[in-house]
Chain A
């Protein structure tokens, strides 16, 4: 097995944990301000070296820490799963104003879902860390991909993932169409819950 992350490998899971702690702090601060919790749960992962090698080969990036940590920006990935759509946007706003990171790229697949029905909001963060980086800096900046979505969008993505990796489906087109319809219905529920929540708090 190739060690594409080289000497930087041990830092990656520490950075993942550090960022998750910072997100937990943001959540705590919101709760202390008597606001709803930011998210339902967080999950984080460091991309396996095998997957990273495959991705770099596919994209034509060098098979080195340079390719894995600078060209690819999702070696560290964190998913923020929220109860309501508003919470997704509140989280994005807090991240944009956080002093420990900078948003360098964003893709809004909630406002414009992918053709298959996928909905999620993707951010690439550049995060300050106390760890050495490939540029020689002893306190370097690492890229972290953050995906934000509601519980409904998350469940849908798991289902779609199951279909994508099961190659022996008899009628993939029909299943794909049903998945798309299901995505539209879940989006409808998300919007409906959001609206009811706003009606409840109309006079706050």
Chain B
């Protein structure tokens, strides 16, 4: 699991990073909200953990900015025990959960394990982006029409939607959709990207995957508003 941690208290950050890395997580630490927004814009994470009170830009402001770009990554806020308003503001700004400070490392690591189980068992059931809906349980893509997806296509599209508008490298896509032991190269990924492109087109979606063979690839909402009626009387 790849985690973005934004915590301005250097000592706390160091402890958290060490603890999470010791469990095998890939952690990227930043020290204010603005850096968090920047990292989130350019990278793909499975989880983001933000402190609220930070210099330059608060965790709440950073979260709002990140959500406004279409990013739907799971976010946990670190809030002070006494500040009920912080929890409410955080959740309303688009956070998925919060942990109150001071917290024990044991609790944090248990939450990460819980989250990991959940995302392995059920990737988000139904995701929407632009005029498309992805039902991951049913492996179905819907827009003005519907079509089945393979397991890999579903995983790829799931990641694309959670990280809409970001340029995502081939290697990250391969890591997410295929097990490590599969022998997958960029050419194979290109075939799956091609399937997804044609399927998006076949359901009449105003959503496209940009990018040349080899990547990076980017999910874009191209909605121009015209609904392209299917019945034409000449």
Contact = CB atoms under 8 A, between A and B. Distances in A.
A194 B231 CA distance: 24
Contacts of A42: none
A48 interface: no
A15 to B, nearest CB: 21
Nearest to B193: A195
B195 interface: yes
A195 B195 contact: yes
Contacts of A198: 194
A199 B192 CA distance: 11
Interface string B212-234: 00000000000000001011111
A111 B230 contact: yes
A152 interface: no
B64 interface: no
Contact of A112 (B147, B148, B150, B204): B204
A169 interface: no
A192 B199 CA distance: 8
A113 B146 CA distance: 8
Interface stretch (A27-35, A70-78, A179-187): A179-187
Contacts of B232: 105-108
B25 interface: no
Nearest to B213: A202
Contact of B230 (A103, A107, A199): A107
A196 B228 CA distance: 27
A187 B194 contact: no
A112 B145 CA distance: 5
B194 A111 contact: no
Contact of A191 (B138, B191, B198, B228): B198
Contact of B202 (A103, A109, A191, A196): A191
How large, as a class, is the contact surface on chain A? 20 to 34
B230 A192 contact: no
Contacts of A57: none
Interface string B181-221: 00000000001001100110010100000000000000000
Given A192-B195, A194-B198, A184 B147 contact: yes
A139 interface: no
Given A195-B194, A195-B195, A108 B147 contact: no
B140 interface: yes
Contact of A188 (B149, B191, B194, B228): B149
Contact of B140 (A107, A184, A196): A184
B149 to A, nearest CB: 7
Given A112-B144, A184-B146, A185-B148, A191 B199 contact: yes
B234 A106 contact: yes
Contacts of B228: 111
Interface of B: 138, 140, 144-150, 191, 194-195, 198-199, 202, 204, 228, 230-234
29 contacts: A103-B234, A105-B234, A106-B232, A107-B230, A107-B231, A107-B232, A108-B232, A111-B144, A111-B145, A111-B202, A111-B228, A111-B230, A113-B146, A184-B146, A184-B148, A187-B145, A187-B147, A187-B202, A188-B148, A188-B149, A188-B199, A191-B198, A191-B199, A192-B195, A194-B198, A195-B194, A196-B191, A199-B191, A199-B194
